[in-house]
């Protein structure tokens, strides 16, 4: 074996479970990875962090052979890893669970787990009974509460995630499990379950690479943490001795204040929006709250508490069974998003790709779309120049990073895409903005920018509803916090009253959840 | 084993934006250039194979003339496919509208100009119904227009008693003149081609300069996001289908004027030719992307192939085989390029 031809940074160490050395990868016009390296020891969980675009996904695709590396070496358990397909990587002992789940929605849990490896008789006929037996065995071993016969499409995202993991662990040979943002869609209880599963998987011969944005989780699960930035290796540190601020500053290359508090909290502002008795067929029961001018009103709660549903019902995207909305003292009926936009309420979905952006269109199209009819057209003809100028002005105002407003919006980073949607509603002159998970999928540096943007908007007199699953974010931003559970409002807290404990007490009815949160609160 | 890993100090760029080029317009232009190059290539091949007949003025005129009907239907189809929908009914709705035109003008003796107007509006009405079924009843466009295809086919036969209705060569001369006459004195350049050209210009303006076009593209890119942006997407979908229907109504006039009659048993198959023209022209079946110029080039490619093969005395049956293969190759090349663009 020729060692170290291209890796000046380290020496091949056969006791490591997974070693990556000196990996370069370029795409036309961009160097994605340069001298990338990291190592995973036997029996550990390694946290891997980096901002969006740091090169994590590229690295994963190189490991599984989806991309071919230009230089560099991979070793898995002492032998060189030369997989050219995910299947080969799997056979060599490397399983990857991608951020986007790769399951067939209409097949059952069991069928998904054994897809391509079905137990057969005569090499052609499937043996559903045997497959079911093996699935039950596997789920039992992993202590997963899943129905093997349930169609994957009927499961929650969290359960689907569990199926992916069960699938990865159903390979007897799996030594290294790489998880890319495994908890993006999970609530706290589900995260715990996932972590239990990971600990169960870890033996003296196995290891896990855990890619995540969520620092609190890394603190709980990871033994060491490796930071990468802009395609370069930065540092590796033992988790126990590292503070979050240290990690974050290495990720972004500058220090970030994680203990900031809401700005300009006042309680004597006029009410702009008053919602009472909002109910829907599916979930919401008698939801009432007020929104004041210039306020950031946080909406906290666990997954499925109904926060997004409130937003969608409010803007007329989903039908309501009852409920009154009073806007600036006048009762209004909002039966469609078009009507909501007309009265000045803009909704920014948590799922920008599906409910926010027209990805294949330009930044200026995405900004101007809501105002095309009233601002950027005469007699049905679009005024392209005015539209581009307005987009250009927004680009400057919100410092949207794009070479041009003619750039397709899909090429922008998550944070800049979010800003483009904010610009859409500002151009439309909306006074009430509903942000659903405003920083989901946005990297740490850009998050702070979004927070400042929200504060600035509130200062200018915009009223903001901010739905967030990240408690630090809720506490950081909210002048008041509405807490929901099971489709009801369980409490409204002032900025002074709000802390992780008080919010979680309202968001759950279980006492154990509070202690669990207290554990996290130290971060 | 060392745990010390020293940080690599490297210069880090300020922005995290990938320096991707502005993909939109130049790629579209390249696409059109490819389609145009294909058209020129096919034309050149036939010109070499049949140097005396194929490239002659009269044959080129014939090619353009025979593009009219499919071209008009393809314009309608382009507007709809950009919404990420599809319209399978354009062929038989055209036939039904032609039967209506003959009923108005021949049977009811309505003045020709008014009959024409009513026929175009009739096409728009059917489009409106398609739009209602898609936007309000939320039927998948494939199903909604498949049903309309059958309804229109049947109604055309019912209304005409399954017999052709003939225009009178003298009384309705102006009607027939619309297609086969020539407004340019001294030439025999058919008006039908001019009608198609004007219709293409109108469609181009609609798609590129108006709200209708912007919302069309936006709905095709992401219908849900467009609705959440405060656009009344249901209303606009209905308008788009109705406007497409106007083009189908116009196609009905051109085909009945050319034949001098409404032929109730025809029409099926035109929708597939129209869809083929749109696809060859680079409009994406997944919506959000498409051009009028591409569609017209696509329609011309189909005409050139059909005409060239006829001149070379290839049996009619083979023409569809070759057209099918052309679609496979063109779309494959397009996919290949899209895939390559996606991996970079």
Return the DSSP state at A15. T
**Angstrom distance (rounded) from CA A50 to CA A59:** 12
Task: Quick: pLDDT tens for B15-43.
Answer: 333 333 334 456 666 766 778 888 999 99
Question: Is the CB of residue B27 less than 8 Å away from at least one CB of chain A?
Answer: no
Residue A181 within a domain: yes
- What is the DSSP secondary-structure string of A141-203? HTT----TTSBGGGS-HHHHHHHHHHHHHTSTT--EEEEESTTTT--HHHHHHHHHHHHHH--
- The neighbour count for residue A473, using CB atoms within 10 Å, is 20
Is the pLDDT at B329 greater than 90? The verdict is: no
Of B88, B77, B87, the residue nearest B283 (C-alpha): B77
Q: Are strands A345-348 and A296-301 parallel, antiparallel or unpaired?
A: unpaired
Residue A236 within a domain: yes
Question: Is the CB of residue A428 less than 8 Å away from at least one CB of chain B?
Answer: yes
Cβ contact B290:B279 at 8 Å? no
Residues A192 and A229 in one domain: yes
Task: Quick: pLDDT tens for B157-186.
Answer: 999 999 999 999 999 999 999 999 999 888
Question: Is the CB of residue A51 less than 8 Å away from at least one CB of chain B?
Answer: yes
Residue A88 within a domain: yes
pLDDT, mean of residues A169-189: 82
- What confidence score (pLDDT) does residue A2 get? 38
- CA torsion sign for A362, A363, A364, A366 is positive
pLDDT, mean of residues A160-165: 86
We report the CATH number of the domain holding residue A240 as: 3.40.50.300
Domain that residue A212 falls in: 18-93+173-252
Question: Is the CB of residue A401 less than 8 Å away from at least one CB of chain B?
Answer: yes
Residues A186 and A311 in one domain: no
Chain centroid to CA B229? 29
- What confidence score (pLDDT) does residue A39 get? 92
- What confidence score (pLDDT) does residue A259 get? 64
Across A54-58, A216-220, B296-300, least confident range: A54-58
Question: Is the CB of residue A331 less than 8 Å away from at least one CB of chain B?
Answer: no
Pick from B3, B214, B225: which is nearest to A372 by CB?
A: B214
> Structurally, how many domains does chain A consist of?
2
Question: Is the CB of residue B91 less than 8 Å away from at least one CB of chain A?
Answer: no
Question: Cα torsion at A357, A363, A365, A367 (round to 10°)?
Answer: 80
Show me where the domains of chain B are located: 62-331
Residues A185 and A324 in one domain: no
Q: Per the CB < 8 Å rule, is A349 touching B228?
A: yes
Q: What three-state secondary structure class fits A208?
A: strand
Residues A278 and A338 in one domain: yes
Which residues on chain A are in Cβ contact (under 8 Å) with B340? Answer: none
Helix (H) or strand (E) holding A25: strand A18-27
- What confidence score (pLDDT) does residue B342 get? 57
Q: Per the CB < 8 Å rule, is A233 touching B229?
A: no
Q: Per the CB < 8 Å rule, is B230 touching A403?
A: no
- CA torsion sign for A176, A303, A433, B220 is positive
- What confidence score (pLDDT) does residue B27 get? 62
Of B214, B8, B139, the residue nearest A36 (C-alpha): B8
**Angstrom distance (rounded) from CA A387 to CA A423:** 12
Residue A366 within a domain: no
Residue A35 within a domain: yes
Question: Is the CB of residue B339 less than 8 Å away from at least one CB of chain A?
Answer: no
What is the pLDDT confidence band of residue A247, given thresholds at 50, 70 and 90?
confident
**Angstrom distance (rounded) from CA B12 to CA A46:** 24
What is the pLDDT confidence band of residue A86, given thresholds at 50, 70 and 90?
confident
Question: Is the CB of residue A494 less than 8 Å away from at least one CB of chain B?
Answer: no
Extract the tokens encoding A288: 């009432």
Q: How many helices (H) and strands (E) does chain A have?
A: 19, 24
Which residues on chain A are in Cβ contact (under 8 Å) with B212? Answer: 380
Residues A225 and A295 in one domain: no
Which residues on chain A are in Cβ contact (under 8 Å) with B229? Answer: 337, 341, 369-370, 424
What's the mean pLDDT when you consider all of chain A? 85
Which residues on chain B are in Cβ contact (under 8 Å) with A234? Answer: 7-8
Which chain A residue is nearest to residue B217, measuring alpha carbons? A361
What's the mean pLDDT when you consider all of chain B? 89
Which residues on chain B are in Cβ contact (under 8 Å) with A230? Answer: 10, 12-13, 16
Which residues on chain A are in Cβ contact (under 8 Å) with B226? Answer: 358, 369
Question: Is the CB of residue B311 less than 8 Å away from at least one CB of chain A?
Answer: no
Chains A, B: CB contacts within 8 A come to 149
Question: Is the CB of residue A238 less than 8 Å away from at least one CB of chain B?
Answer: yes
Residues A41 and A86 in one domain: yes
Residue A408 within a domain: no
Residues A248 and A278 in one domain: no
Return the DSSP state at B50. S
Q: Per the CB < 8 Å rule, is A413 touching B289?
A: no
pLDDT, mean of residues B246-257: 98
Residues A324 and A199 in one domain: no
Of B318, B324, B337, the residue nearest B276 (C-alpha): B324
Residues A38 and A88 in one domain: yes
- The neighbour count for residue A95, using CB atoms within 10 Å, is 24
Q: How many helices (H) and strands (E) does chain B have?
A: 13, 2
pLDDT, mean of residues A175-188: 81
Helix (H), strand (E), coil (C) string for A336-370: CHHHHHHHCEEEECCCHHHHCCCCCCEHHHHHHHH
% chain B with pLDDT above 70: 88
Highest average pLDDT, of A246-250, A485-489, B254-258, comes from B254-258
Residue B293 to chain A, least CA–CA distance (Å): 19
Is the pLDDT at A411 greater than 70? The verdict is: yes
**Angstrom distance (rounded) from CA B228 to CA A314:** 12
Residue A214 within a domain: yes
Residue A148 to chain B, least CA–CA distance (Å): 32
Which chain A residue is nearest to residue B206, measuring alpha carbons? A381
pLDDT, mean of residues B103-118: 96
Question: Is the CB of residue B83 less than 8 Å away from at least one CB of chain A?
Answer: no
Residue A440 to chain B, least CA–CA distance (Å): 17
For residues A196 and B257, the model is more confident at B257
Task: Quick: pLDDT tens for B67-88.
Answer: 999 999 999 999 999 999 999 9
**Angstrom distance (rounded) from CA B342 to CA B344:** 6
Residues 6+ apart with CB under 8 A from B1: A13, A15, A16, A41
Helix (H), strand (E), coil (C) string for A43-82: CCEEEEECCCCCCHHHHHHHHCCCCCCCEEEEEECCEECC
Look up the CATH number of domain B62-331.
1.10.3470
Question: Is the CB of residue A249 less than 8 Å away from at least one CB of chain B?
Answer: no
Q: Per the CB < 8 Å rule, is B18 touching A404?
A: no
Decide which of A223, A252, A281 is a domain's last residue: A252
pLDDT, mean of residues A1-9: 40
Is the pLDDT at A100 greater than 90? The verdict is: no
What is the pLDDT confidence band of residue A254, given thresholds at 50, 70 and 90?
low
Cβ contact B334:B279 at 8 Å? no
Question: Is the CB of residue B342 less than 8 Å away from at least one CB of chain A?
Answer: no
Question: Is the CB of residue B19 less than 8 Å away from at least one CB of chain A?
Answer: yes
Residue with tokens 């395609």: A231
Residues A194 and A298 in one domain: no
Angle between helices B90-102 and B112-135 (to 10 degrees): 150
- For an interface test with B, the pick among A374, A382, A415, A427 (most B C-beta atoms closer than 10 Å) comes out as A382
Residue with tokens 């009269």: B58
- What confidence score (pLDDT) does residue B26 get? 65
Question: Is the CB of residue A317 less than 8 Å away from at least one CB of chain B?
Answer: yes
Pick from B18, B222, B232: which is nearest to A358 by CB?
A: B222
- What confidence score (pLDDT) does residue A406 get? 92
Cβ contact A15:A207 at 8 Å? no
- What confidence score (pLDDT) does residue A26 get? 80
ipTM of the complex: 0.84
Residues A210 and A276 in one domain: no
- What confidence score (pLDDT) does residue B338 get? 67
pLDDT, mean of residues A450-464: 93
Task: Quick: pLDDT tens for A500-523.
Answer: 778 877 887 433 333 334 344 444
pLDDT, mean of residues A87-96: 87
Residue with tokens 């194929």: B54
Task: Quick: pLDDT tens for A311-329.
Answer: 999 999 999 999 999 999 9
Q: Is A346 left (phi over 0), alpha (psi -120 to 50) or beta?
A: beta
Q: Is A322 left (phi over 0), alpha (psi -120 to 50) or beta?
A: beta
Residue A153 within a domain: no
Q: Are strands A18-27 and A30-40 parallel, antiparallel or unpaired?
A: antiparallel
- What confidence score (pLDDT) does residue A11 get? 67
Strand order in the sheet with A207-211: A94-97, A176-180, A207-211, A45-49, A224-229, A232-238
Is the pLDDT at A183 greater than 80? The verdict is: no
Is the pLDDT at A8 greater than 70? The verdict is: no
Residues A178 and A247 in one domain: yes
Extract the tokens encoding B248: 């189908």
Which residues on chain A are in Cβ contact (under 8 Å) with B12? Answer: 229-230, 232, 253
% chain A with pLDDT above 90: 43
Question: Is the CB of residue A441 less than 8 Å away from at least one CB of chain B?
Answer: no
Of B248, B285, B282, B238, the residue nearest B81 (C-alpha): B285
**Angstrom distance (rounded) from CA B330 to CA A193:** 50
- What confidence score (pLDDT) does residue A520 get? 41
Decide which of A206, A222, A252 is a domain's last residue: A252
- For an interface test with A, the pick among B229, B286, B290 (most A C-beta atoms closer than 10 Å) comes out as B229
Q: Are strands A432-436 and A381-382 parallel, antiparallel or unpaired?
A: unpaired
Of A167, A213, A237, the residue nearest A54 (C-alpha): A213
């Amino acid at each position: 074996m020729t060692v170290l031809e291209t890796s000046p940074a380290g020496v091949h160490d056969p006791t490591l479970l997974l070693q990556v050395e000196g990996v370069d990868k370029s795409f036309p016009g961009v160097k994605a990875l340069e001298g990338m390296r990291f190592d995973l020891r036997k029996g550990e969980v390694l946290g891997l962090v980096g901002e969006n675009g740091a090169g994590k996904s590229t690295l994963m695709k190189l490991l599984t052979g989806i991309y071919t590396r230009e230089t560099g070496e991979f070793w898995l358990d002492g032998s060189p890893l030369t997989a050219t397909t995910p299947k080969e990587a799997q056979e060599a002992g490397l399983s990857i669970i991608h951020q986007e789940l790769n399951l067939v929605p209409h097949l059952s849990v069991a069928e998904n787990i054994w897809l391509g490896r079905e137990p057969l008789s005569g090499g052609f006929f499937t043996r559903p009974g045997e497959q079911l037996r093996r699935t039950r065995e596997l789920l039992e071993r992993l202590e997963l509460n899943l129905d093997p016969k349930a169609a994957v499409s009927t499961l929650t995202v969290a359960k689907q995630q569990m199926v992916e993991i069960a699938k990865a662990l159903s390979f007897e040979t799996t030594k290294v499990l790489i998880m890319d943002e495994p908890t993006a869609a999970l609530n706290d209880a589900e995260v715990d379950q996932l972590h239990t599963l990971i600990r169960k998987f870890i033996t003296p011969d196995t290891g896990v690479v855990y890619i995540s944005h969520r620092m609190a989780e890394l603190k709980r699960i990871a033994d060491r943490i490796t930071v990468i930035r802009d395609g370069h290796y930065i540092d590796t540190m033992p988790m126990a001795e590292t503070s979050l601020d240290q990690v974050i500053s290495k990720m972004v290359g500058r220090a970030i204040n994680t203990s900031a508090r809401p700005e300009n909290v006042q309680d004597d502002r006029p009410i702009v929006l008053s919602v009472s008795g909002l109910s829907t067929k599916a979930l919401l029961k008698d939801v009432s709250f007020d929104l004041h001018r210039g306020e950031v009103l946080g909406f906290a709660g666990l997954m499925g508490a109904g926060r997004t549903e409130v937003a969608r019902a409010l803007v007329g995207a989903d039908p309501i069974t009852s409920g009154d909305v009073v806007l600036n003292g006048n009762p209004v009926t909002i039966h469609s998003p078009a009507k909501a936009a007309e009265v000045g309420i803009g909704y920014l979905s948590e799922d920008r790709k599906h409910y926010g952006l027209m990805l294949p269109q330009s930044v200026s199209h995405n900004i101007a779309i809501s105002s095309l009819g009233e601002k950027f057209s005469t007699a049905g003809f679009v005024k392209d120049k005015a539209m581009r100028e307005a987009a250009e002005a927004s680009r400057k105002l919100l410092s949207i990073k794009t070479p041009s407003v003619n750039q397709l919006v899909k090429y922008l980073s998550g944070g800049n895409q979010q800003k483009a949607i904010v610009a859409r509603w500002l151009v439309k002159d909306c006074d009430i903005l509903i942000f659903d998970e405003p920083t989901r999928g946005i990297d740490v540096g850009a998050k702070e920018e979004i927070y400042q943007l929200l504060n600035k908007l509130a200062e200018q007199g915009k009223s903001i509803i901010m739905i967030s699953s990240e408690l630090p974010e809720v506490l950081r931003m909210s002048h008041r916090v509405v807490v929901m559970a099971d489709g009801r409002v369980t409490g409204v807290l002032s900025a002074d009253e709000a802390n992780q404990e008080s919010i979680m007490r309202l968001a759950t009815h279980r006492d154990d959840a509070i202690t669990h949160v207290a554990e996290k609160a130290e971060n | 084993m060392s745990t010390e890993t020293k940080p690599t100090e490297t210069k880090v760029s300020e922005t995290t934006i990938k320096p991707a080029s502005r993909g939109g317009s130049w790629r579209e232009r390249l696409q059109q250039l490819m389609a145009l190059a294909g058209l020129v290539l096919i034309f050149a091949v036939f010109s070499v194979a049949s140097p005396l007949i194929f490239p002659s003025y009269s044959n080129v005129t014939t090619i353009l003339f025979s593009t009219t009907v499919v071209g008009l239907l393809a314009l309608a189809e382009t507007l709809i496919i950009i919404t990420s929908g599809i319209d399978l009914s354009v062929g038989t709705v055209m036939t039904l509208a032609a039967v209506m035109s003959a009923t108005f003008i021949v049977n009811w003796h309505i003045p020709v100009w008014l009959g024409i107007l009513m026929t175009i509006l009739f096409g728009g009405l059917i489009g409106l119904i398609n739009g209602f079924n898609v936007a309000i009843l939320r039927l998948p466009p494939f199903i909604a227009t498949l049903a309309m295809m059958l309804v229109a086919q049947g109604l055309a036969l019912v209304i005409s008693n399954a017999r052709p209705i003939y225009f009178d060569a003298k009384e309705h001369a102006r009607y027939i003149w619309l297609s086969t006459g020539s407004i340019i004195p001294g030439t025999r350049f058919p008006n039908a081609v001019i009608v198609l050209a004007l219709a293409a210009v109108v469609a181009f303006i609609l798609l590129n300069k108006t709200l209708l076009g912007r919302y069309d593209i936006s709905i095709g890119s992401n219908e849900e996001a467009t609705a959440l942006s405060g656009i009344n997407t249901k209303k606009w979908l209905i308008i788009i289908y109705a406007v497409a229907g106007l083009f189908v109504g116009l196609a009905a006039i051109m085909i009945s004027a050319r034949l001098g009659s409404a032929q109730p048993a025809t029409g099926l198959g035109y929708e597939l030719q129209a869809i083929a023209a749109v696809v060859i022209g680079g409009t994406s079946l997944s919506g959000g992307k498409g051009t009028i110029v591409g569609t017209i080039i696509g329609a011309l490619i189909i005409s050139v192939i059909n005409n060239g093969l006829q001149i070379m005395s290839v049996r009619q049956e083979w023409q569809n085989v070759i057209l099918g293969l052309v679609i496979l190759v063109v779309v494959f090349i397009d996919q290949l390029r899209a895939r390559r663009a996606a991996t970079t």
